[in-house]
Structure 1
Amino acid sequence: MLGEGGYGCVYAGVRRADLLPVAIKHIHRANVEFVLVTKGTQLHSIPKEVFLMHLAGSGPHSEGRNASVSILDWFSVDHEVILVMERPTPAEDLFGYCMEHAPLPEGLAKEITRQLAAALNHLHERRVFHRDIKMDNLLLQDTPSGPRVRLIDFGCGCRVQSEPYSEFSGTVDFAPPEFVLTKRYNAGPTSVWQTGALLYELLRSDEEGEFTTEAWRNGDLACPSGLSQECQDFLEACLRVEPTQRLGLDQLNHHAWLRP
């Protein structure tokens, strides 16, 4: 078992045909939202999570090609839906990594943020809104060229839309302040807010408070100490309470802190 929660549980496995490492996610059927898709001339009902992962770039021989892990197959069995996904290896979830190494050096936090920003832009271009960016949903894959960020768990995701959303699905502590204040929010500013929340968590010391939207909005938190001025500027630009004043999602990797 790799993990479990209210949704069900995830197991490690291998694909028999070629011994590819896989993650096998068991979800209580009552917790699965289905969507209708057209294949040829027929309508098919598939889990929304599967649909979003396909949009994100899954497909034949897509393993390892995208920041998002690929969906390989899915099954509906009795009271469960089972998803079979690629399992990057060797890899560790970012939460577990930070438990051992926090606070991260600014250089490593910068590389994680740069890769995450690129991944989120790719998702939005494909009209996918992950909506639950946090340490638990990022893997750090160990590769010869250095750590590679891999995005997992699209269970709270949805399609990108032009009009505001009125219902939030994800981690409430990282919900954007505009949802808390007005019950309305948009995809791009939310992804930027959650990128800032994640970065704060990567850089904070044990003495500095855990990030919550409420604590930041109330002024109970400040930028973690010891950061470069460019890093502070980036963090504050992601965490502006007014969404129209935040960096745009497509501007993140053009900020001075993230530019090579």
Structure 2
Amino acid sequence: MTTRVIDNQWKLDNAAWSLPPPPQLVQSKNNSPLHSFGDYAYPKSDRLTPTYMGNNFLEFHKLYSDRSSITPKPVTIPNANKIIKKTFNREYRTLTCLGKGGFGHAFDGRRRSDNSPVVVKFLPRDRILNWGTFDGKRVPYEIEILWRLRGVPGVIKILEHFEEPDRYIYVMEKIPNSCTLFDFVMKSSPLANTELLRHIFNEIVRINVTLQMYGVWHRDCKPENIIYCKNDRSLRFIDFGSAAPVQVEDFHEFQGTLEIMVPEWIVQRRYNGEKACVWTIGVCLFFLLYRQYPFRTKPDIVKGRSNLANIAAMDKDAYHTMKQCLNGNENRRPKLNSLQYLPWLNITY
């Protein structure tokens, strides 16, 4: 029911004809519940000034014959139709370079309106291999993925993106008191046999399981592409430039780096998404234990020969899991989901 509030001067008995017509319900173009008041359109009334209540007909005729005296003139607003286009340089500024990859560069940045810290990534158009769609427009698949996963725990949050003639730019949240997992591990004391090792490994597994549920393989999961927050020990995956949709068939193209390359790609030019994901998790666990990557060359990857000695005695359970994930026979690697339920991940100290 619609309630109309009417001023007292319209309630006079001898002016019942002067009541404004009721509002008409029209179709609104705004779907937001916060703007539901726009669903009602009030018809234009010829009486936008107080109703004439006098008894002299000549005065009434004089008043309404000269409409210019009661009709307000339209106000002209300079540049009312000029739309200021939102551009990256108008909204943000960049500071130091945070890193360079095969597909783009990341910079520390600030939002000009409130000086809030952000991370900015520049993607040259000629280096984009995977394309997707967002808001009806063709965009790099990385941008589509970040918008689709926005708000998912463990994934860096995108704030907005811009398209320029020669590049795409997207702006991400800046995690306070954070660094890459690579830098954190290299500067920390050894993690073997620690609760922190179990926590970090468990988070890496959990985020990959979540991505699988959302139909995405990261395909470049390594410590450089994981942000570690020192405040709450949470992780965020970044750099989805190699990401691909989950599919039943094998992949027949590889995007990533040598550090996480699977042996079946080198030998057979194909790999299964889940089994390759488990391999990269094993690479991450190896790095958490040794502070180095397990393989340096393709022959070492194929032969399964790492450059470090056996440290099973140092952290037996973690070492056993790592060896299972890095099994050269893909069919003998554990299932991704099963890695969440390893008994040693629940050990406390």
CA RMSD of aligned residues (A): 2.2
Q: Does residue 142 of structure 2 align to residue 142 of structure 1? A: no
CA contact (8 A) 2:123 2:169 kept: yes
Structure 1: give runs of 5+ residues left out of the alignment: none
CA contact (8 A) 1:28 1:79 kept: yes
The equivalent of 2:319 in structure 1 is 232
1:204–1:6 Cα change, 3 Å: same
Amino acid at match of 1:236: K
Choose the corresponding residue for 2:295, options 200, 211, 234.
Answer: 211
The equivalent of 1:23 in structure 2 is 119
Which whole-Å CA distance do the structure 2 matches of 1:117 and 1:171 have between them? 20
CA contact (8 A) 1:253 1:259 kept: no
Amino acid at match of 2:280: Q
Choose the corresponding residue for 1:104, options 191, 210, 221.
Answer: 191
Which whole-Å CA distance do the structure 2 matches of 1:14 and 1:239 have between them? 41
The equivalent of 1:71 in structure 2 is 158
1:26-41 pair list within 5 angstroms: 26-33=122-129, 35-37=131-133, 39=135
1:189–1:259 Cα change, 3 Å: farther
The equivalent of 1:250 in structure 2 is 337
Which whole-Å CA distance do the structure 2 matches of 1:148 and 1:223 have between them? 30
Query: Per-residue CA shift, 1:168-193, capped at 9, x if unaligned?
Result: 00012311111112111111111110
Amino acid at match of 2:318: C
Amino acid at match of 1:116: I
Q: Higher relative contact order at CA 8 Å, sep ≥6: structure 1 or structure 2?
A: 1
Which whole-Å CA distance do the structure 2 matches of 1:68 and 1:203 have between them? 24
Which whole-Å CA distance do the structure 2 matches of 1:253 and 1:148 have between them? 17
The equivalent of 1:176 in structure 2 is 262
Aligned residues: percent identity? 28
Query: Per-residue CA shift, 1:197-219, capped at 9, x if unaligned?
Result: 1111121167xx74346425424
Query: Per-residue CA shift, 1:68-127, capped at 9, x if unaligned?
Result: 101111111231211111121110111222232264343222211100100000001001
Give the TM-score normalised by structure 1.
0.86
Give the TM-score normalised by structure 2.
0.65
The equivalent of 2:175 in structure 1 is 88
1:122-161 pair list within 5 angstroms: 122-143=210-231, 146-161=232-247
Structure with the higher fraction of residues in strand conformation: 1
1:34–1:218 Cα change, 3 Å: closer
CA contact (8 A) 1:200 1:211 kept: no
1:91–1:66 Cα change, 3 Å: same
The equivalent of 1:44 in structure 2 is 137
Q: Does residue 139 of structure 2 align to residue 5 of structure 1? A: no
The equivalent of 1:166 in structure 2 is 252
CA contact (8 A) 1:138 1:150 kept: yes
Amino acid at match of 2:295: F
What is the aligned residue count? Answer: 247
Which whole-Å CA distance do the structure 2 matches of 1:210 and 1:235 have between them? 10
1:220–1:72 Cα change, 3 Å: same
Residue 34 of structure 1: how far off its partner (Å):
5.3
Q: For 2:343, what is the secondary structure of its paired residue?
A: coil
Structure 2: give runs of 5+ residues left out of the alignment: 1-96
Amino acid at match of 1:124: Q
CA contact (8 A) 2:186 2:291 kept: no
